[in-house]
Amino acid sequence: MRTPILAGNWKMNTNLASATELVNAMKNDLSQLAANGNVHVVLCPPFPYLARVNELTRGTGIQVGAQNMYYELKGAFTGEVAPAMLVDFAEYVIIGHSERRQIFHESDEVVNKKIHAALANDLKPIVCCGEALETYENGETDVWVRGQIHAAMQGLSADQVRGLVIAYEPIWAIGTGKAATGAGANAVIGISIRGALADLYGEDVAQSVRVQYGGSVTAKNIDEFIVQPDIDGALVGGASLKADEFIAICRAGLKKNS
């Protein structure tokens, strides 16, 4: 059984005061949810607030994730953050978010290097994939997503892959208010993502990996996704910045295996 995982990606939002306020507003409810172990809840604040969020959530069962990292271990890489710098504050790290791929030109090769570096440093990668609107409209989603999965998994062992979380985030659904349908997202995750993993590592591994949906997830539409057999949770942007909304989204995770 795959434990549902709900993660809030705060992106480049909040400041020290509002990050603190947000965690304090969600802490009690989220820790109750996390405590029974049936749902994993992860908060991914910007780098400068990782230490604070880690401190505020210690002992609550709420987990912390970073939004990015570099693949080199140390050295002359001004402005970058190494995997080993994150482990004191974070358990997870988002890798290959479409905003990193599009705005910061991260290639499939860089994404793959980052996954290797994260795993080598005891961070759990949340690996993002997803197609642009044009690809979707041309009916090329399957080929595109399979290609991203193949490229991201280069050189990884079956055991390493079992430890990954994958997030399917169609770019056209991110921040647009136009979420995919539950059935549509489930089909891409089941056929393209688990299909690619099965081709590479066999059905057993494909069925063991947790795959989230991301893109305009709200408290209103989360149920539509969480009931789908191949969807194990959500990677939430905008709605994770509102305490009540994110609590409701995480609570929906309980419906998964009940």
Q: Is 9 in the site for ligand 13P (CB under 6 A)?
A: yes
Told to judge if 40 belongs to the known catalytic residues of this protein, a careful annotator would answer: no
Each residue of 102-117: b (16+ CB within 10 Å) or e?
A: eeeebebebbbbbbbb
Three-state secondary-structure class, residue 10: coil
Q: Is 215 in the site for ligand 13P (CB under 6 A)?
A: yes
Q: Which is nearer to ligand 13P, 169 or 232 (CB)?
A: 169
Please tell me the distance from the alpha carbon of residue 143 to that of residue 26, in angstroms, as a whole number.
39
Q: Which residue is nearest to ligand 13P (CB)?
A: 237
Q: Is 212 in the site for ligand 13P (CB under 6 A)?
A: no
Helix residue ranges, H only, 154-212: 158-162, 182-187, 194-201, 203-208
**From candidates 161, 236, 249, 252, binder to ligand 13P by CB under 6 A:** 236
Catalytic residue among 131, 169, 224, 245: 169
Binding-site size, ligand 13P (CB under 6 A): 14
**42 token code pair:** 């992860």
CB of 220 to ligand 13P, least distance (A): 12
**From candidates 216, 226, 245, 256, binder to ligand 13P by CB under 6 A:** 216
Told to judge if 134 belongs to the known catalytic residues of this protein, a careful annotator would answer: no
Residue 74: how many CA atoms within 13 Å on its side-chain side? Answer: 3
Each residue of 152-191: b (16+ CB within 10 Å) or e?
A: bbeebeeebbeebbbbbbbbbbbeeeebbebebbbbbbbe
C-alpha dist (Å) from residue 191 to 8, 25, 127, 242: 25, 38, 17, 33
Q: Which is nearer to ligand 13P, 97 or 256 (CB)?
A: 97
Q: Which is nearer to ligand 13P, 182 or 214 (CB)?
A: 214
Residue numbers 61-120 binding ligand 13P by CB under 6 A: 97
**Binding-site ranges for ligand 13P (CB under 6 A):** 9, 97, 169, 174-175, 214-217, 235-239
Provide the annotated active-site residues. Answer: 97, 169
